[in-house]
Amino acid sequence: MINNIENKKEISKKLKERAISEGFAMSGIAAIPGSSRIRLRTNALERWLSNNYHSEMKWMEAERRKNISSLLNDAKSILSVGFLYLNSNNNNENKKNFKIGKFGQGEDYHKVINKKLKNIGNWINKEIPDCKWKICVDTSPLLEKAWAEESGIGWIGKNSNLINKKNGSWFTLGFMILSKDLVPDKPHESLCGKCDKCIEQCPTKAIVEPFVIASDLCISYHTIESRSKTIPKKIEKNLNGWIAGCDICQDVCPWNKSVPYNNTFETYPKEWIKNLNIESLNWDQKTWRENLKGTTLKRIKPWMWKRNIKASLRNQ
């Protein structure tokens, strides 16, 4: 039970350590409702939506995203964690055709993060038995990057990715909303400074201003989320081999130049990804299901997969 400030400090420290022992690269805690920056980030979301920068991603309009308490009654704290997906084998540097974003080359990170957080939940049930908790990944209506920044595990970069000093931006986020007051970490300050490399190097100019992404100009959006039958010509001519996601704005980020690898089975690229070639255009439904099973890439439907490959080939 958390009875005093010393107990709070101890259990907060143990919780973050537990997260690291589960395989997360970073962990931090924020108090709910958070500092004034949460309100500013919420306002920024509303401006982004009003400009229709979310395009077809209508789920981003969920009102619950603006109120974390709607996800768990009596929410008091949130644990933020980062799962590093950078593997020494999942680079695209030597590939001209068929590039796949590093985040999607290994196991489905939603399942990986959820499993690890459930283990933490079991620990919480023993250590803080009267604490309710709820797991959230990026499928939940949560201002995830804002809360991760509030928890001190990184800052939102000009390319809208969360960046950590040690691990760059090669990680995905997970959260546990808790019904107990814990000791919060200091929100992270922005360290992008005057650097604009991500903005300058985006071939489609999707970063329309620092921190703001126009989805309908983003290669990742068009190859993963868009259900349009064709890819717009402006996007198509800049694919440069990207058929599932895009890492350009991360590859050029100085904070990603010297970061550790997480060479676990969860991040190791699938064999078919390492050997991807023109034959993938002729996969039947069974082959497609077998290959993409257990990955985040199954979000890309078979017809979208062919659409992306054909668009990329037209501009080789």
Q: Are 167 and 25 in contact (CB under 8 A)?
A: yes
CA separation for the pair 194, 289 (Å, rounded): 45
* Cis preceding linkage at 187, omega within 30: no
Question: pLDDT at position 249, please?
Answer: 98
310: number of Cβ within 10 Å: 14
Intervals of the chain under pLDDT 70 = 1-3, 91-96
- For residue 278, CA distances in Å to 106, 228, 309 come to 21, 22, 8
User: Which position among 74, 108, 130, 138 bears the catalytic label?
Assistant: 138
Residues 6+ apart with CB under 8 A from 298: 108, 289, 292
For the question of whether the overall pTM of this predicted structure is more than 0.75, the answer is yes
- Using DSSP's 3-state secondary structure scheme, residue 147 falls into helix
- Using DSSP's 3-state secondary structure scheme, residue 81 falls into strand
Please state the domain extents for the chain.
Answer: 5-91+105-178, 197-313
Question: pLDDT at position 156, please?
Answer: 98
Element spanning 83, H or E: strand 77-84
Question: pLDDT at position 91, please?
Answer: 67
CA separation for the pair 96, 124 (Å, rounded): 47
Instruction: Report which of 133, 132, 162 is spatially closest to residue 146, judged by C-alpha positions.
Output: 162
Render pLDDT for 80-113 as a digit per residue (tens, 0 to 9): 999 999 999 986 655 667 899 999 999 999 999 9
Question: pLDDT at position 280, please?
Answer: 86
Question: pLDDT at position 4, please?
Answer: 78
Strand 133-136 with 242-244, pairing: unpaired
Question: pLDDT at position 3, please?
Answer: 57
Question: pLDDT at position 66, please?
Answer: 84
> Is position 138 annotated as part of the catalytic site?
yes
- The two tokens of residue 208 are 């329309």
CA separation for the pair 132, 224 (Å, rounded): 35
CA separation for the pair 293, 298 (Å, rounded): 7
